[in-house]
Structure 1
């Protein structure tokens, strides 16, 4: 059996521009898994730099790490982090969604 050498892969090292970051976060959102989206935010935060994000959000670096490794972070904290990344949350109707009936 041949020994295969591998190296550690860290997606944060490849998130080098805003277009890639947007695509990565949107893809993480598309499957509907909150844990995938939180992990993607963690990756982006590391790519951008936790210290810089801590300064922009007013959240201590240690708290950022803890929040982005939590299974159920607070929504208001997530919005602060997203805002600190220079992003905003926008909701759009699904293409296959039928509108709610009027009351």
Structure 2
């Protein structure tokens, strides 16, 4: 019997274009439990799918600082989130939402 090695599934391997990233991020925004953890995880996946070094340059942060901010233990401020989303070529929009 042949032994197969499986590698863990990583969303960043499947974010091939801007549309994929936007759809993924929007889905995570809709499902986020309210603490930003899912949004932060999605931004981390998107950042890794892009180029973390380039993103660090564009945000003025270090790669280590980006990884820390976007880690499960991270707690990035709103200014950091804006820097990251802008560097990824994304923008925030607000809309009315029913309660």
- Structure 1 and Structure 2 fold alike (TM over 0.5): yes
Other-structure match for 2:13? 13
| CA drift at 1:90 | 0.4
Aligned length: 94
Q: Which runs of 5+ in 2 are unaligned?
A: none
Structure 1's consecutive aligned runs of 4 or more residues displaced over 4 angstroms after TM superposition are none
Q: Residue 56 in 1 paired to residue 58 in 2?
A: yes
The alpha-carbon distance between structure 1 residues 20 and 31, as it changes in their structure 2 partners (threshold 3 A), is: same
Q: Which runs of 5+ in 1 are unaligned?
A: 98-103
CA RMSD, Structure 1 to Structure 2 (Å):
1.5
SS at match of 2:80: helix
Structural mapping, 1:38-77, within 5 Å? 38-69=40-71, 70-77=73-80
2:83 alignment partner, one of 75, 80, 84: 80
Q: What are the Cα deviations for residues 47-85 of structure 1, in whole angstroms up to 9, with x where unaligned?
A: 001001011111111100010013421111111001100
Contact 2:68–2:74 (CA under 8 A) maintained in structure 1: no
TM norm structure 1: 0.83
